[in-house]
Amino acid sequence: MPWTSVPIASVVNLDHPAHYLTWGWLSISVPNLLVILLMIAVFVLAVLLPFPKDRDGS
Amino acid sequence: MTATLPATGAPETPEGGPESRMWTARLRRAWVSKLPPDKLLPDRQPAYVASWIYVFGVLTIAAFLVVLASGLVLAFTGPAWYHTSSLGHFTNSTHFWSVQLFFVFMVIHLWGKFWMAAWRGRRWLTWLTGGLCFLASLATAFTGYLIQTNFDSQWISFEAKDGLNAVGIGAFFNVANLGQTLLIHACLLPLVVGVITVWHVLLVRRRGVVPPMEAVPPHGAVPVAVPAAVATSGEPTVTSEESGS
């Protein structure tokens, strides 16, 4: 294993097929669900977080 | 071929002087009247643009430029390089992850514009070109997955061919044909996405950034223009252009 991939591999083992969550007809992989949840979080933060003001403070 | 000046030799003037009927002059007049330089490259924006939700359009374009640059390197070097060398792996991964960010930014941009009903104020064509860009990007990403030249792309193409055959386009678009898919991905679809993106941005410049719903002035009210550089807070206001009038 190249040394550059050791830190990532030590946190999350990605060397296997993704886990799937199933509710009836709906089936989604855990990585895809995480990405969607992350996008929703970014969207909410983009709406709520204040935008930096100009350098002159106006 | 060059144009002959009018008999007076005077240049064309907007005040009623002789105007050239050359197609270049008419195209220039039409362009300047619809999209003057101060609208094409503005240095001021309304106060409501000072929000993080307004940055995702340009983030999408930035990711698209990284996709194009890394894809250009992959196209010139080929799979024999990007499957075998460390720098090739890095460039291949840069291309892949910039595509992921491109779609993340584009979808968040789409959510933001949907919830502010960005088709208001005669902006329906801006909304439509955004939707077309999204669909063209999906096709580009799909053909990209097909030309990875690995077992993943082999699996995807042989799963997809049945679906495409079922809808009757398998005779024209054969996903198992690597040469066809490679040319569509590298030559045709980036051009389509790029042209639609430029069209979309020009429409945004022409109609202006869509205001929040509460910023639409009541009927008969005089709209007020507020430069973003000096007004990043307070009540949202709109310019006459933003109001769609």
**pLDDT value, residue B224:** 44
**pLDDT value, residue B214:** 76
User: Given an 8 Å threshold on Cβ–Cβ distance, is A53 in contact with B232?
Assistant: yes
Residue of A nearest to B51 (CA): A51
Which residues on A lie below 8 Å from B108 (Cβ)?
A: 39, 42-43, 46
Q: Find the mean pLDDT for residues B161-169.
A: 91
ipTM score of complex: 0.78
**pLDDT value, residue A5:** 55
pLDDT per residue over B50-65, tens digit each?
Answer: 899 999 999 999 999 9
The distance of B171 to chain A (nearest Cα, Å) reads 31
Distance CA B185, CA B144 (A): 6
8 A C-beta contact, residue B113 and residue B210: yes
**pLDDT value, residue B236:** 46
**pLDDT value, residue B188:** 96
The domain locations on chain A are 10-48
User: Given an 8 Å threshold on Cβ–Cβ distance, is B232 in contact with A54?
Assistant: yes
Segment of A17-21, B102-106, B172-176, B203-207 carrying the highest mean pLDDT = B102-106
Size of the A and B interface in Cβ pairs below 8 Å: 40
> What domains sit in chain B, N to C, each tagged with a CATH number?
47-123+208-213+222-245 (1.20.810.10), 124-196 (no CATH)
The distance of B190 to chain A (nearest Cα, Å) reads 25
Q: Which helix (H) or strand (E) holds B37?
A: helix B37-40
Residue B221 has pLDDT above 60, yes or no: no
Q: Which residue from B184, B168, B198, B226 is spatially nearest to B65, judged by alpha carbons?
A: B198
Residue B99 has pLDDT above 60, yes or no: yes
A26 backbone dihedrals φ, ψ, rounded to 5°: -90, 125
The pTM of this model reads: 0.79
**pLDDT value, residue A6:** 57
More confident residue, B203 or A16: B203
Residue B27 has pLDDT above 90, yes or no: yes
Q: Which helix (H) or strand (E) holds B88?
A: helix B86-115
pLDDT per residue over A14-32, tens digit each?
Answer: 788 899 999 999 999 999 9
- Average the pLDDT over each of A5-9, B59-63, B186-190 and give the range with the smallest value: A5-9
